[in-house]
Structure 1
Amino acid sequence: MKKVLIITYYWPPAGGPGVQRWLKFVKYLPHFGITPIVYIPENPNYPILDNSFVKEVPKDVIIYKHPIREPYKLAGLFSKKDAKRISSGIITTKNQSIIEKAMLWVRGNFFIPDARKNWVGPSVKFLDAIIDKERIDTVVTTGPPHSIHLIGNRLKELKGIRWLTDFRDPWTSIGYHKKLKLTRKSQLEHKRLEHQVLNNADGIIVTSYTTKKEFETITDKPISVITNGFDSDDQGHAPLTKDFTISHIGSLLSGRNPLVLWKVLGELVNENEGLKTSFKLRLAGVISEDVLQTIKDSGLENHTEILGYISHEEAITLQQQSQVLLLVEIDSKETRGILPGKLYEYMAAERPILAIGPEKWDAAQIIADTHSGFSFGYSDENELKDVLLKWFWAYKNEGLVMKSVGLEKFSRRELTKELAKHI
């Protein structure tokens, strides 16, 4: 069987969607004649842990580890809260402390492309011998963190191996990039490294068509879209809640705050006694104070359940139980190509998806193509209200049902089959 070396920062017991993508690829690659060998940090500083992923790691997969030095541990001596938030990519623009502002400036200008840059040199030296030992001729790097791609770039120069890059998110165009307080020199350095990686790689994999179009302006190298997906093995059959529940799984931060939805829900609760007695809003994940305050101001506080971080297993159950699943993205051009990993699990749950995001959002097209729900902009108040009422009356009468189509191509097995062709 052909061997491929996969270099990733996020791996169980880390939590979040970034872990699932390559955990599932590793699970299914042997079905297509490819043996994955994984390289990860030995002592990472994961901001979120989910031990339910550990048991999904194939028992026979070879995993190499090497120590990493991360600045977040040192930053934690000054402010553990700020260090954890920044390390997880949560960057707020309001009420920043002096320490947080300083951390962001140092993070943005001293650690380019990111705070894991110090792992590049030691990893290249360590993997030099591993590539020979395992007789590897293809390496895949997945980011963010995008410093992982610099390892692949160096190994290609050193060993002449074939190198594929996997971008789970864009690089310089991602939303939080503008919040890093970058100097002009730092901005140019990010652009230089992005250009270098995209033009030195033998192939590029992205998760959305918008990112593909963006990268095509930077490189002529082949770019393939392989989205995230759902694993049929994970899907359960939990009974629906008796309440009219709308559930959101994942972070809802200041920018990801659908004011139009809270306003419409507040109005519906006041106007419709049946909805008022049966409506529940369930939020799982990190919720910013701004979002919570808006929900409260809309009169929805008594209808809201804050669940905090839940495991992937619990998230699957919550999806299956919910009457409606909420998907929210920041309203900006930079987020049009962001396809949250949970989108595909939402579709697999076959519950109606209520999506609120930017104009020309890639997720909106997928939802429309699969008949999985409806997508709205941040100003589509009347249309949003009509759909919610329609779904509520369906819930009250014959039951709220969603008949999606064309989901199989988003299964993890089918996506891995496509990946195997590139490897």
Structure 2
Amino acid sequence: MKVLIITYYWPPAGGSGVQRWLKFVKYLRDFDIEPVIYTVDNPAYVIEDASLLADIPEGVEVIRQPIFEPNSILSFFGKKNKKQSGGFLNPNPSAIGKLLQYIRANYFIPDARKYWIRPSVKYLEQYVRENDIDAVISTGPPHSMHLIAMQLKERTGMTWISDFRDPWTEIDYFHQLPLSKRSKLKHIELEEQVVSKSDVVIVVGETMKKNFEKYNDEIHVVTNGYDSKVSELNEELDMSFTITHIGMMNADRNPTILWSVLKEICDENADFKKDLKVQLIGKVATEVEKDLASLNEKNIALIEYLDHQDARLYQQRSQLLLLAINNVPSAKGIITGKIFEYLQARRPILGIGPIHGDAANIVNETTSGIMVDFDDAAGLKGTILEYYDKFKKGDLTVSSSNIEKYHRKELTRELSVILIQD
């Protein structure tokens, strides 16, 4: 079987967006599926990680076509802000900033890659007719990738699988966008079209599946995962009581309750204050930095970016791994990709988010940590103190179970069954 995969993110892109299909492609040949990648030739990636190029199997065909991205023009007229470039919306934009946000939100639907749709359809229609392609797979966001595949299906009749790494109208920041009523309806309409017209829809969690089932009966959950062997982990643990978060932390993901509880414990316990080290690896919003100012700067380490391999080392050495779920209306369905790497690191997970959400279900199912609700300060304080007591005794461990099914190869096996059957 030969499949065409339409994706905006591909190495040397870094960050979370590239991981899912890079890892699927790494293992697809093991299940007699030959991937062909269609991606951009001149991308405007915020983060690059050349180390990920090593995961691309030798000989895999990668087709690159140029793209016009208006964001580069719009940013010329606005004040550049590195915090925004990492995926944050400026909460206090200038007048020109408000105008640019409005233009981006309402004139580039579904996203700023919309101008890649028409030339891509034209190119790929000829390509699939001249090559032995059995199915097309689109992965988003950006959701323009789905619109390319939808038109390709309409013109060729080929099988189409749409993959949602993140939700569309239920994504964490959708409620922040300055969308007009007409624009919101357009997003909803396009989302319904994509889901209903796909032959198969793949999502990363049960909540998204339930939300999409009203449009299509062929909805399958294939989560994200980890890719290294547990036996490879031989790192010595940090001497400090490290609480580490890997990945972007915007204002919605800012666990304000945690900073408040940590300050309270530091004020009450001099040893805890001496031992504590909070490590945030990835871009953080200004709001997060302001809240961290309540703690002693000696207890804080901010590292803007590490490549994937180095980030894994920090995970393996940490005493606790912080899983912060965005405090938004769609919080229950959020499953951040880092949770699976946390599982592989076999360090206790301290989660802050819905205790009956998709992420909490994974943490509980694997007995890999504790999820505390957004407003449960007493429960959070008690959990941290319990973990700290074990740390002081040299007994801060976790007995994770049932995590092997989240290895990328096993997940690719699940994917292959779906692709071959459909």
Matches within 5 A, 1:254-269: 254-269=251-266
Which residue number in structure 1 is paired with residue 70 of structure 2?
71
- Are 1:221 and 2:217 an aligned pair? yes
Which residue number in structure 2 is paired with residue 382 of structure 1?
378
Which residue number in structure 1 is paired with residue 315 of structure 2?
319
CA contact (8 A) 1:139 1:162 kept: yes
Partner letter of residue 5 of structure 1?
Answer: L
- Are 1:32 and 2:28 an aligned pair? no
Which residue number in structure 2 is paired with residue 43 of structure 1?
42
- Are 1:97 and 2:91 an aligned pair? no
Distance 2:238 2:164 in 1: 37
Which residue number in structure 2 is paired with residue 294 of structure 1?
291
| Cα-to-partner distance string for 1:244-268 (whole Å, 9 max, x where unaligned) | 1110111122121212111111111
Which residue number in structure 2 is paired with residue 336 of structure 1?
332
Matches within 5 A, 1:96-135: 96-135=93-132
User: Relative to 1, partners in 2 of residues 1:87 and 1:223: Cα closer, same or farther, differing over 3 Å?
Assistant: farther
Partner letter of residue 32 of structure 1?
Answer: F
Q: CA deviation at 1:335?
A: 2.2
- Are 1:230 and 2:226 an aligned pair? yes
User: Is the partner of 1:255 in helix, strand or coil?
Assistant: helix
| Cα-to-partner distance string for 1:164-202 (whole Å, 9 max, x where unaligned) | 000011111212222221111111111111111111100
| TM-score with structure 1 setting the length | 0.96
Distance 2:233 2:139 in 1: 29
CA contact (8 A) 2:86 2:248 kept: no
Distance 1:32 1:388 in 2: 44
Unmatched 5+ residue regions in structure 1?
none
CA contact (8 A) 1:346 1:353 kept: yes
Which residue number in structure 2 is paired with residue 140 of structure 1?
137
User: Relative to 1, partners in 2 of residues 1:88 and 1:113: Cα closer, same or farther, differing over 3 Å?
Assistant: farther
Which residue number in structure 1 is paired with residue 201 of structure 2?
204
- Are 1:368 and 2:364 an aligned pair? yes
Q: CA deviation at 1:86?
A: 5.3
CA contact (8 A) 2:88 2:285 kept: no
CA contact (8 A) 2:162 2:201 kept: yes
Q: CA deviation at 1:24?
A: 0.3
CA contact (8 A) 1:339 1:362 kept: yes
Partner letter of residue 335 of structure 1?
Answer: A
Which residue number in structure 1 is paired with residue 306 of structure 2?
310
Could you list the structure 1 runs, at least 4 aligned residues long, displaced by more than 6 angstroms after superposition. none
User: Is the partner of 1:145 in helix, strand or coil?
Assistant: coil
Which residue number in structure 2 is paired with residue 245 of structure 1?
242
Deviates more, 1:6-15 or 1:170-179: 170-179
CA contact (8 A) 1:140 1:163 kept: yes
Aligned length: 418
| Cα-to-partner distance string for 1:313-354 (whole Å, 9 max, x where unaligned) | 111001001000001012233121111111000011000000
User: Relative to 1, partners in 2 of residues 1:88 and 1:143: Cα closer, same or farther, differing over 3 Å?
Assistant: farther
Which residue number in structure 1 is paired with residue 342 of structure 2?
346
- Are 1:273 and 2:270 an aligned pair? yes
Distance 1:337 1:69 in 2: 33
CA contact (8 A) 1:138 1:163 kept: yes
| TM-score with structure 2 setting the length | 0.96
Deviates more, 1:72-81 or 1:175-184: 72-81
CA contact (8 A) 1:284 1:308 kept: yes
Which residue number in structure 2 is paired with residue 188 of structure 1?
185
Deviates more, 1:233-242 or 1:59-68: 233-242
Distance 2:119 2:317 in 1: 46
Distance 2:197 2:249 in 1: 36
Partner letter of residue 280 of structure 1?
Answer: K
Partner letter of residue 37 of structure 2?
Answer: V
Which residue number in structure 1 is paired with residue 16 of structure 2?
17
